[in-house]
């Protein structure tokens, strides 16, 4: 840094300046700046305890009498070695039992893990035994703390839901006996204490399952029972005796109750009726064409498997007369023609 300074003569303590142009002296001053760097050594980390508990899965569903198993993951999340203490499991309903296990061996509470290094975990299991008379589930909480610092704690909650299996009752088929043209209705009552609708509900007829439908006009409350049904004709079932049984599920458990095999229905075939049998004309000569006819009626509307006229002991297949409506319930005419020359001279017999 530089400055211009005037220069004069000093006399008797006075400054005498030159007249005219003054004399100036350029004075430069050098300023040094010192940079000081201070290095401070890192302080050691303070010991810190931290523990974490994680119960998985968060929720499971079982039925009364089941045992559900959960994983318990204990983690030393601090920066020093530590032991984790499992203090208690709270929220356990009366009559329920819960077992903490280490490598499959039941443990008593409070339970201590081995010494765990920082950022390491330890795995336990938890068995929850649902009593056979349980109707609702529970939410329980596992509580832990650090042995190195008892004020450091953690908790994790898990749910155990109870599902009541649905019940089937009053299974039936109506009617129990009828013919091929009859419509048979299978029905069963589905009840679920949890008010769960069926995931599926079937009637198994002769080994083949058929999905059932909820009967119209019901209140939709499964706790008091809902009727399901399935209809099928005797023609589809076929002639003879049949079996049926029901199965269902609420999506979790299979139904109990009326799930056994029933023997029913019996499908019968109504015998066809032949009427108005005749031959026309009743008398003729060798050149005459004789027509045999009969009315065939079947209440099940089944066409004949065969229909014959037996002339003098010899059967002849008859043909369906043209121009009829094809409804066998009101009768259809069958006929057969033959000449007198084939029949031969004399009296003859016939039957159908």
Would you tell me how many other CB atoms lie within 10 Å of the CB of residue 173?
A: 22
Would you tell me how many other CB atoms lie within 10 Å of the CB of residue 314?
A: 9
Q: Which residues pair with 121 in a beta bridge?
A: 75
Instruction: List, for residues 186-217, the tens digit of each pLDDT value.
Output: 999 999 999 999 999 999 999 999 999 999 99
* CB-CB contact of 233 with 180 (8 Å): yes
Q: Which residues pair with 275 in a beta bridge?
A: 295
C-alpha to C-alpha distance for 68 and 158, rounded to whole angstroms: 12
Distance, first Cα to last Cα, the chain: 146
pLDDT of residue 38: 54
pTM > 0.75: no
Residue 342's SS3 state is helix
Could you list the pLDDT tens digit for every one of the 352 residues in the chain? 554 545 444 433 434 334 344 444 444 445 444 555 555 556 677 999 999 999 999 999 998 999 999 999 999 999 999 999 999 999 999 999 999 999 999 999 999 999 999 999 999 999 999 999 998 999 999 999 999 999 999 999 999 999 999 999 999 999 999 999 899 999 999 999 999 999 999 999 999 999 999 999 999 999 999 999 999 999 999 999 999 999 999 999 999 999 999 999 999 998 999 999 999 999 999 999 999 999 999 988 889 999 999 999 999 999 999 999 999 999 999 999 999 999 999 999 999 9
Residue indicated by tokens 């300046």: 17
- Name the token pair of 284: 């003729």
C-alpha to C-alpha distance for 9 and 274, rounded to whole angstroms: 167
Instruction: List, for residues 323-348, the tens digit of each pLDDT value.
Output: 999 999 999 999 999 999 999 999 99
Q: Which residues pair with 72 in a beta bridge?
A: 55, 124
CA nearest to 187, candidates 262, 252, 238? 262
CA nearest to 194, candidates 65, 67, 64? 64
C-alpha to C-alpha distance for 47 and 193, rounded to whole angstroms: 55
pLDDT of residue 27: 46
pLDDT of residue 25: 45
Residue 234's SS3 state is helix
pLDDT of residue 300: 84
CA dihedral 313, 317, 321, 325 (to 10 degrees): 120
Buried b (16+ CB within 10 A) or exposed e, 90-108: ebeeeebebbbebeeeeee
């Amino acid at each position: 840094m530089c400055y211009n300074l005037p220069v004069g003569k000093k006399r008797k303590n006075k400054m005498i300046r030159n007249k005219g142009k003054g004399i100036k002296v350029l004075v430069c001053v050098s300023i040094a700046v010192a940079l000081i760097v201070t290095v401070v050594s890192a302080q050691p980390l303070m010991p810190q305890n931290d523990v974490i508990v994680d119960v998985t899965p968060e929720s499971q569903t079982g039925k009364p009498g089941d045992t559900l198993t959960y994983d318990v993951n204990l983690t030393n999340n601090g920066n020093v070695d530590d032991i984790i203490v499992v203090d208690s499991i709270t929220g356990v309903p009366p009559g329920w039992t819960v077992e903490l296990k280490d490598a499959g061996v039941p443990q008593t509470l409070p339970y201590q893990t081995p010494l765990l290094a920082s950022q390491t975990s330890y795995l336990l299991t938890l068995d929850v035994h649902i009593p056979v008379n349980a109707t609702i589930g529970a939410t329980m909480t596992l509580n832990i703390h650090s042995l190195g610092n008892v004020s450091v704690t953690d908790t994790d909650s898990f749910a155990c839901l109870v599902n009541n299996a649905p019940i089937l009752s009053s299974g039936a088929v109506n009617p129990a006996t009828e013919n091929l043209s009859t419509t048979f209705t299978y029905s069963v009552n589905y009840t679920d204490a949890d008010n769960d609708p069926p995931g599926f509900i079937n009637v198994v007829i002769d080994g083949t399952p058929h999905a059932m439908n909820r009967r119209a006009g019901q209140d939709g409350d499964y706790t008091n029972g809902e009727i399901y049904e399935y209809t099928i004709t005797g023609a589809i079932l076929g002639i003879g005796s049949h079996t049926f049984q029901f199965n269902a599920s609420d999506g979790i458990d299979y139904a109990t109750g009326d799930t056994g095999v029933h023997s029913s229905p019996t499908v019968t075939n109504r015998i066809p009726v032949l009427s108005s049998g005749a031959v026309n004309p009743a008398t003729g000569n060798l050149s005459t064409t004789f027509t045999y006819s009969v009315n065939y009626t079947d209440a099940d509307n089944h066409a004949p498997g065969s229909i014959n006229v037996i002339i003098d002991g010899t059967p002849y297949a008859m043909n369906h007369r043209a121009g009829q409506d094809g409804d066998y319930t009101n009768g259809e005419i069958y006929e057969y023609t033959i000449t007198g020359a084939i029949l031969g001279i004399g009296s003859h017999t016939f039957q159908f």
